[in-house]
Amino acid sequence: MTVEIVILAMIAAFLGLRLYSVLGRRAEHEEEPIAGRFEGPAGAPRGPAAQRGHEDKASANGATPPRIREMPRTTPLVERGLQEIVAADRRFDAFAFVDGAKTAYRLVLEAFWRGDREELRQLCDDEVYEGFAQAIDAREAAGEQLDNRLIRIEETQITGAQYEAPNARITVRFRSDIAAVTRDSEGTMIAGSLDDAIESIDVWTFVRDVRSPDPDWMLEETDEG
């Protein structure tokens, strides 16, 4: 019995060592860092210093710095326009602009729906503001109010970009789902439904003077897709 116990103990110890070695290698492998979307291979320098190093090296070789090359997927013509804007305004970031455009789209729509002229004045240039203000005046004269909801923005795409000193202009196509309801002065629904969202396609152009310290873009033109 003693010999059998010793043999079983040795077998158990052997299996335990094998299992530990396999799990140990697996754990070490899983802890290896994985390069992010804009990062180099594992072990390569990262962070702002490394980014500046890549840009300096690219500039020395006459290549376009990575920050300029990293543009949202679009047409070559639009990409050239975005690169011209970057050349004029080194602070410009196309991905950050798209995020800001989504926010502006929501803010403008909601301000128009509730008839907030003050906020629209801050977000739009004079011509676009006047168009919104006239529509609000007509709605109020008819004793109507909008109870619309922006359900979601399905797609945001830059469809145009140009730089004409000192102004940068970018056109964005929004595809969204909107639940539209019109109510009378007493709040009774007279048109639309909050249960059935409809697809809306809007093409908006934003403008900014790149010399201005103000980073905000103004809505310069609105159109339907």
Compute the distance between CA of residue 85 and CA of residue 81 in angstroms, rounded to an integer: 6
> What is the percent of the chain with per-residue pLDDT over 70, rounded to a whole number?
68
For 130-188, write each residue's pLDDT tens digit: 999 999 999 999 999 999 999 999 999 999 999 999 999 999 999 999 999 999 999 99
pLDDT of 44 > 50? The answer is no
Across 50-64, 102-116, 118-132, 166-180, least confident range: 50-64
Contacts of 193 (CB under 8 A, 6+ apart): 179, 180, 181
Contacts of 83 (CB under 8 A, 6+ apart): 64, 68, 71
Q: What residue has token string 């013509």? A: 77
* Structure tokens, 211: 């010399």
pLDDT of 128 > 90? The answer is yes
pLDDT band, very low/low/confident/very high, at 50 (cuts 50, 70, 90): very low
pLDDT of 13 > 60? The answer is no
For 167-176, write each residue's pLDDT tens digit: 999 999 999 9
Give the per-residue pLDDT at 56.
46
Tally DSSP H helices, then E strands, for the chain. Answer: 7, 7
Across 70-74, 75-79, 162-166, 203-207, least confident range: 70-74
Compute the distance between CA of residue 10 and CA of residue 14 in angstroms, rounded to an integer: 6
For 184-225, write each residue's pLDDT tens digit: 999 999 999 989 999 999 999 999 999 999 999 999 999 997
- Return the H-helix or E-strand segment holding 106: helix 94-114
pLDDT of 40 > 80? The answer is no
Give the per-residue pLDDT at 225.
75
Among residues 170, 158, 168, the alpha carbon closest in space to that of 212 is found at 168
Mean pLDDT calculated for residue range 5-20: 52
Tally Cβ neighbours within 10 Å of residue 120. Answer: 21
pLDDT band, very low/low/confident/very high, at 73 (cuts 50, 70, 90): confident
Mean pLDDT of the chain: 79
Mean pLDDT calculated for residue range 23-40: 35
- Return the H-helix or E-strand segment holding 33: none
Long-range contacts of 112-118 (CB under 8 A, 24+ apart): 112/136, 112/146, 113/146, 113/147, 113/148, 114/146, 115/139, 115/140, 115/145
Among residues 176, 166, 218, 205, the alpha carbon closest in space to that of 78 is found at 205
State pTM to two decimals. 0.69
